[in-house]
Structure 1
């Protein structure tokens, strides 16, 4: 069997490595269009924040290891331009522009996602960046250091944009955050979003809400980022307005697309062609709460899906249960966490949702380090099911959210979750854990 993989990051290399463990005799070829594989993209803001940080430390496993230790035919600089499902071939060009064509028995599309770049005047300027690939990280870090940047603008407030507010501030750079919506994180309740907004402003981040960027103009080494209402000056711009699935190859090959334009897959990660699989940010998934298709790009999902593909093609039964959309990020000393559905998402999915927002404390009040924590919890009035939780605080909320995520995977009712035996000791939690406080309040509404 010849197993061909398009894309050499999380899903692709996880699939390649596990397929090799499952079948030492299998022929495995990985086609990666860049010169990097198997790296921690999520860690790039933290390396940028460290003046001595080195992007190369984010490479988890060097290409030579895959080739020499695992006998994987890893080909860098190979851009696939077409997939021919009928004749089981992929074709494209290598780093030197030379055409290639490879036949496959099983194919995995692991092309990931691409950063959104609005095609406004000035988006192509050398001062304007996205932060998606390792090469993007290298360019951003080099530009900051070579130009000795003192002021930067970040357009958008997704996970990367907010993490970069911290990273650039840590480098002594003044940050102007430009947001086209009137609130910072629209999926959070106003109280939780306000806590994040306050944390940013306390650290000197300048925030402009409700400002849609219309153009970027250059004046010598400086930029003007212009909205309808005002213009802001900076020396560099980071576009951080999210990503979209890289599903173009699949679409051109006639494969079915699903949620958010991602490649549609079944619970065994097969596409509409049974011998072609898709995994990672380019593929959709099932949501554990709704049971419906969704697209939520996350690193753990990509790695787990890569394993699932390898298991399936080597004859092991696979059923991917799905995702809850669990995510966390840090902004200075504030932790933001979520899992499951928001009130709006629950309404859209056909539930009869109710919501509570509670403010309590992370530890017993008498213990040093006890901090305020906000919990937003959503449940279904009809079934009593727990539907989603969001948290904002400064004391281990990123860990607490895992309890709620497990509850969603177990399809627990709020009443059942409210009676779970959570650990208590004053240095770690009040007697009533913040999640239990929220669950008890939500029960009153249900």
Structure 2
């Protein structure tokens, strides 16, 4: 059997490696348009923060290892441009020399990932306007900061990547302004928790310009000028961090069904509308474990897990994935910020009858040195009593606590059931009543 994979990062290389381990006789071919495979994209902001650290440190496994030790036919610099589902072929162009290529497949995995959203506005194509998604993007940003002696940066967007990059640039003593058209920082977050994140940014000299719509970017004698409707901001560098969109055009052009956010529609076995073609990673959708509906939430763990599942299915071991809860965590200077499941507004849109609580607790026992304040938001459903989601903010004790709620959501636990869970206690790590249990007990008064 010939198993062809388009895309050589998380989902693609996870599928390739697993398929080769399970069935060594399978011919596994990977087509990757860049020269980079298998790297930690999520680590790039932290790498950029350290001027002396090489971007290559983020490479998990080099291409030659896949080729020589695992027997995978990995072709870097091969840009796939068309899929023919009838004849089961992938065609494209070799980047270096423009020569065409054609591969026949028995099974195909589309793992083309996502790409940054670049506004269709004047000036976003100027030198010094950059985005961060690929390893080459990371190299480009580090090189630009070094070679242009960047002192001021404007970040368009205030999502996860934007916030992590704000910290990274401040670590390099670069002045940072952040701009977004909507009025609220982290609009999905409870306002009490979002206010804490906002204060942390301001305390670290990050300029916040929410409700500010960019109309374009101009080149001037000193660098760049980000023009908004009511103000302008000067910068040596502009980072587009508005979000990403799935690279699904290759699939759509081949007649493969797309769905929410134009992501490739897959079933729980990761099959597309063509049974010989699978999709995984940031280009594909998933099922939300709380709502049971299709969603598109690009997550690193999901990409790797989906790659494994595709390999299992291709190799004759039927595997279905339950779905995602949207569990995520990120760092904003001295804060840990985490979420899983639905916010109150999202729960309403999903036709639940939700209520929420916000509690203030401590990361350690009250008498233990170093205890920090944690705020927890829990959302529950008044009809069923189910726990629907959680958000947490604090200097410590947040990143791994959120996982307890994620497990509860995957198991459709009620707030009452969650309130009875046996969570660990020791004074250096938690009060006797863990903040999550305190929040659950308060939620019980409403559900």
SS of equivalent to 2:445: helix
Within 5 Å, give how 1:9-408 maps onto structure 2: 9-95=9-95, 96-408=97-409
Which residue is equivalent to 1:2?
2
**1:17-54 CA-partner distances (Å, limit 9, x unpaired):** 00000100010100000110000010000110001111
Query: How far is 1:221 from its partner?
Result: 4.0
**1:338-373 CA-partner distances (Å, limit 9, x unpaired):** 000111111111111111111111111221111111
SS of equivalent to 1:398: coil
- Provide TM-score, normalisation by structure 1: 0.99
Once superposed, what is the RMSD of the aligned Cα atoms?
0.7
CA distance in 2, matches of 1:396, 1:7: 36
CA distance in 1, matches of 2:68, 2:54: 25
SS of equivalent to 1:107: strand
CA distance in 1, matches of 2:202, 2:398: 21
CA distance in 2, matches of 1:359, 1:210: 29
**1:97-154 CA-partner distances (Å, limit 9, x unpaired):** 1011110000000000010000110000011000000000000000001111111000
Query: How far is 1:396 from its partner?
Result: 2.1
Query: How far is 1:220 from its partner?
Result: 2.5
**1:145-183 CA-partner distances (Å, limit 9, x unpaired):** 111111100010111100001000000101011121211
CA distance in 1, matches of 2:350, 2:121: 34
CA distance in 2, matches of 1:283, 1:429: 38
Contact 2:397 2:429 in 1 (8 A): no
- Provide TM-score, normalisation by structure 2: 0.99
CA distance in 1, matches of 2:71, 2:428: 50
CA distance in 2, matches of 1:181, 1:438: 30
CA distance in 1, matches of 2:290, 2:219: 47
What is the total number of aligned residue pairs between the two structures? 446
CA distance in 2, matches of 1:220, 1:54: 31
CA distance in 1, matches of 2:439, 2:41: 34
Contact 2:112 2:283 in 1 (8 A): yes
CA distance in 1, matches of 2:41, 2:180: 24
SS of equivalent to 1:399: coil
**1:280-329 CA-partner distances (Å, limit 9, x unpaired):** 00000011111111001000000000000000011102010000000000
CA distance in 1, matches of 2:363, 2:230: 41
- Unpaired runs of 5+ residues, structure 2, are none
CA distance in 2, matches of 1:221, 1:141: 20
CA distance in 1, matches of 2:284, 2:130: 25
- Unpaired runs of 5+ residues, structure 1, are none
Contact 2:83 2:250 in 1 (8 A): yes
CA distance in 2, matches of 1:347, 1:250: 33
